[in-house]
Amino acid sequence: MRDDEIFELNVDLQAAFMQYVIAQPDVLDQLPDDFQLVILSDDDPALSWRNLELLKEQSDTDKPIVIVRMRSRELVDLATHPLQIFVPVAA
């Protein structure tokens, strides 16, 4: 997969995530103030793997990582199929 394709898919995923947050603003209460967002596509394992590689390459170790799992290839009704959001827990 080319870098420009990865970029376009990630922009689409981030837009869908933002739509979810706008529709469900209480999600923001569960997220850290400053974090790295990694979106893993349930239906595009190559994209998910590349996003994990990018995280490893560009990670800011001072920020917690929030992982979101969602579909990238089809429109999903987020009201009936909410995103899976994994937030770090304080030790």
pLDDT recorded at residue 91: 46
Cα 58 from Cα 66, distance rounded (Å): 15
> Is the pLDDT score of 24 beyond 90?
no
Nearest of 40, 44, 42, 34 to residue 65 by alpha carbon: 34
What confidence tier does 82 reach under pLDDT thresholds 50, 70, 90?
Answer: low
Tokens of 52: 């994990």
> Is the pLDDT score of 90 beyond 60?
no
Q: Express each pLDDT in 41-79 by its tens digit.
A: 888 999 999 999 988 888 777 888 888 888 766 656 666
- Domains (ranges, CATH) in the chain? 3-86 (3.40.1350.20)
Q: Express each pLDDT in 27-45 by its tens digit.
A: 888 888 888 889 998 889 9
